Amino acid sequence: MPAMNEELELRQAARALLVLQDPAEKAARTRELGDAALCVDAARVLQEPADIPGRPARPELVSPRDVPVRGVASVEARAALLHALAHIEFNAINLALDAIWRFAGLPEAYYFDWLKVAREEALHYTLLADRLQALGWRYGDFPAHDGLWQMAEKTRGDLLARMALVPRTLEARGLDASPAIRAKLAGAGDAAAAGILDIILRDEIGHVAIGNRWYRYLCEQQGVDPVGHYAVLAAAYCAPALRGPFNLPARLAAGFTEEELRSLERAAISAGAPPRSA
């Protein structure tokens, strides 16, 4: 990969970063990428590298039911919670980089939107990894699951499905979960970790908004209704059923329409989970 003071082609640079295995290096170099002089070759179809995403040997990836209970009752439990958040953010770096290199033929703004997401996810990972280390643990010390990247694998050939089911579904769940997690951390006296959650929620609203923007762009290009087609995609790709409580103010700020939120609440009720929205 060229030095950061040279002009880089963004999509090839994102692909090169995606294969990096060391999380700290990947996060640091992703944050630097936006400072380079960048050009975009949107038309070029790039070859997929082997063994993506690049990631370290640890954490051990297990079934979600085998991930340890995360809470704040002890320092170790709080570390496990922060580790889970760091794992999400590390995966989010990979997801943003993958969205840049994999999909050709989009407007230039699409690629720079996902560069912004990648840089901010890299910051989130770094903040969480540093806080975890301050508590005496490191990223990789607890097992984790691979749900986020599994959905990326499922949608590797369908950008519309990727926009619908990663930023607008899986990442939007973070908008709903963040306030309760922040309250737990603050209640445990970890003001530093609570402050990191404030940064993450602020930025994730923007990330989900980017997902909404390009989902609607693609729906318009393909002549499909955004609300109705979402249900089709969720069923086709076996997306997890969404359960409340929903953070409606954050979702509205992220660009969900009132119609979409009503549909979301109806789906939660039909699945037997009252939404209990905020």
**Domains of the chain, residue spans:** 8-270
Kindly state the percentage of the chain with pLDDT values over 70: 94
Q: What pLDDT digit, counting tens, does each position of 107-164 carry? A: 999 999 999 999 999 999 999 999 999 999 999 999 998 888 999 999 999 999 999 9
Closest C-alpha to 80, from 94, 99, 67, 62? 67
Task: Report residue 5 as tokens.
Answer: 């003071």
**Residue 220: partners with Cβ closer than 8 Å, 6 or more residues away:** none
At position 6, the amino acid (one-letter code) is: E
Contact call for residues 174 and 88 (beta carbons, < 8 A):
yes
Which residues on adjacent β-strands are paired with residue 144?
A: 61
Q: What tokens does 97 get?
A: 């980089």
3 has a pLDDT exceeding 60: no
Q: Which of 50-59, 214-223, 266-275 has the lowest mean pLDDT?
A: 266-275
pLDDT tens for each residue of 201-249:
999 999 999 999 999 999 999 999 999 999 999 999 999 888 888 999 9
Q: Which residues pair with 61 in a beta bridge?
A: 144
Residue 4 confidence (pLDDT) above 70 = no
Model confidence at 56: pLDDT above 90 = yes
| Least confident residue range of 19-28, 39-48, 70-79 | 70-79
**In whole angstroms, what is the distance from residue 274 CA to residue 168 CA?**
20
pLDDT of 40 reads 96
Taken in order 63, 66, 69, 74, the sign of the CA dihedral is negative
> Largest alpha-carbon pair distance within the chain?
55
Q: 3-state class of 250 per DSSP?
A: helix
Q: What is the pLDDT of residues 163-212, one digit of tens each?
A: 999 999 999 999 999 999 999 999 999 999 999 999 999 999 999 999 99
User: What is the reported pLDDT for 13?
Assistant: 96
C-beta separation of 108 from 40 below 8 A: yes
Please indicate whether residue 273 or residue 128 has the higher confidence score (pLDDT).
128
Has this prediction a pTM greater than 0.85?
yes
**Which is nearest to 261 in space by CA: 278, 236, 240?**
278
Percent of the chain clearing pLDDT 90 (strictly above): 81
Place of tokens 């953070």: 247
Q: How far is CA 180 from CA 17, 72, 175, 183, 227, in A?
A: 33, 12, 10, 5, 28
CA distance 34 to 66: 37
Q: Does domain 8-270 have CATH number 3.40.30?
A: no
Backbone phi and psi for residue 248, each to the nearest 5 degrees, phi listed first? -65, -40
Average pLDDT (64-90) is 87
237 neighbors 161 (Cβ within 8 angstroms): yes
